[in-house]
Amino acid sequence: MGRGYMAPLTSLSFGSSGIVGRSLRRAQPQMCRTEGAREVLGIVYPPLPRWANLCRAYGAGGAGSIRKGAGETPALPKPGDWAGFQQSQTAPRLWSKIWLASAVVALSGVVACGASNAPSSESSGSSNPSAPAASSAGQSAGAPKLAEVAPPADHTGGFDGAKAYEHVAKLVSFGPRPPASDGIHRSQEYIIAQLKADGCELDQDDFHASTPKGDIAMKNIIAKAPGTGQGIILLLTHYDTLSSVANFVGAEDSASSTGMMIEMARQLCAKKGPNSVWMAFLDGEEAFVNWDQDDDHTYGSRELAARMAVSGELKRVKAVILADMIGQYNLKILRQSDSPKWLNDLVWKTAGRLGYQDIFVSDSTQTSDDHDPFLARGVPALDIIDLNDYITAGYWHTPQDTMDKVSPRSVAIVAYVILESVDELQKKFH
Ligand code: 1BN
Ligand code: ZN
């Protein structure tokens, strides 16, 4: 893929020619039939699963910050203006620090609480470094958060969770990242600089997507670690944020998975396995107006799947693993019922072996996301996502999606599970 490429209509029209649309519609009978599609902050979404009584919670979020229509998007502040959004606006920093300090005293020895906004490695003294620490126990959705720290890198297969958290904070510091914005351009520069520094081979796919808001320039960034054979293991994250909500910086949706993937690239680009490992940073996942209408979503992943189909590379893909919203405290990842059983089993078995069966739980759900264009083309694909709890807490697609909702420990654990799952895939497809 070259630079400055204008996507052929064929590539995006694959997504709208029926394959992708059918896939998304097919998923709906499993969802909350009583409520149907819901509007959250001006964007209409498909219904959610029943399992956690979410239909009611789905409408939460308050309509006060709805911004609709072209020209109503607020002017983007200068980058420095966004520092405050690294913490929730509803919890002033001083009070949250006092609260955290009290929590540290109360739970002495359990929580290691740094004064810095980027917690460093924990020293829990736990006899089982893989076991989840007690620091997240008892926290309910919406409650103030105890600071968690990343496990030392040698407890998570070499993955440096503190560094990943710094990447997340950096992305958030650029402000909102809707497609073609100043914030996303700064994010692209940052992602590319980090990947180059890690020695990754890079593809930059600049394309244009036809959206309800007109033709929008977008960019996928693909880091490639070549393998000795022909196979490809494809890891995905999106890095854009929702354009329709003012002051939405998306710490969890989507900086957490993007920061994690940047840090994973440091390890993966230094390795050569039987299969190549590609890490795609995707633009344009979020809807501009209505997720459930006119394929107004997943522009970047549809572009990538279409391009790889045209080039013949798609046939070489053994598995796709998407990570999205993986940094929450009290993380709960559900199996994906639309994904192949063997791929769910491989990842969940790996998580169980590492001691994280309380995070990778056995319930199933179905989520529409960037893995869909690959499933629709017959490629085994999985979404590692915790969407439901974030909706219940009232943070999803709101200005409350800030750095204080992201746990370096959760990010590190998901990275560890994905890295080990990549090793399992390498063994399976050697
Ligand atoms: C995930 C994060 N998604 C958007 N931001 C995808 C999605 C959209 C999942 C609608 C469920 C409903
Ligand atoms: Zn989102």
Give the residue extent of every domain in the chain.
1-98, 153-428
How far, in Å, CA of 383 to CA of 317, rounded? 16
Determine the distance separating the centroid of ligand 1 and the alpha carbon of 152, expressed in angstroms: 31
Angle at 11 between CA 9 and CA 13, to 5 degrees: 65
- For 231, the token pair is 């196979």
**pLDDT single digits (tens) 372-381:** 999 999 999 9
Count of CB atoms situated within 10 Å of the CB of 168: 27
Q: Kindly give the number of the ligand 1 atom that is closest to the alpha carbon of 242.
A: 5
Report, as an integer, the average pLDDT of 290-309. 98
Ligand 1 proximal residues by C-beta, below 6 Å: 45-46, 253, 286, 291, 324-325, 367-369, 387
**pLDDT single digits (tens) 147-195:** 789 999 999 999 999 999 999 999 999 999 999 999 999 999 999 999 9
How far, in Å, CA of 221 to CA of 305, rounded? 13
Q: Kindly give the number of the ligand 1 atom that is closest to the alpha carbon of 286.
A: 4
Q: Which of 1-5, 144-148, 334-338 has the lowest mean pLDDT?
A: 1-5
Nearest CA-CA partner of 370 in 299, 290, 296:
299
* φ, ψ at 220 (rounded to 5°): -95, 140
Higher-pLDDT residue of 74, 205: 205
99 pLDDT more than 60: no
For ligand 1, atom 1, the nearest C-alpha belongs to 369
Looking up tokens 């439901």 gives 388
Give 127's strand partners: none
CATH class, domain 153-428, is alpha beta
- Please report, for residues 50, 130, 291, 397, the alpha-carbon distance to residue 31 in angstroms, rounded to integers and kept in the order given: 6, 34, 15, 20
Determine the distance separating the centroid of ligand 1 and the alpha carbon of 100, expressed in angstroms: 31
For ligand 1, atom 9, the nearest C-alpha belongs to 368
What pTM value is reported for the model?
0.76
**pLDDT single digits (tens) 49-96:** 333 322 222 222 222 122 222 222 223 333 344 543 444 443 333 333
**pLDDT at position 25:** 29
**pLDDT at position 148:** 85
Tell me the ligand closest to 178's alpha carbon.
2
Determine the distance separating the centroid of ligand 1 and the alpha carbon of 135, expressed in angstroms: 28
How far, in Å, CA of 13 to CA of 69, rounded? 25
**pLDDT single digits (tens) 231-260:** 999 999 999 999 999 999 999 999 999 999
**pLDDT single digits (tens) 311-359:** 999 999 999 999 999 999 999 999 999 999 999 999 999 999 999 999 9
Tell me the ligand closest to 325's alpha carbon.
1
Determine the distance separating the centroid of ligand 1 and the alpha carbon of 352, expressed in angstroms: 26
Q: Which of 51-60, 108-117, 368-377, 381-390 has the lowest mean pLDDT?
A: 51-60
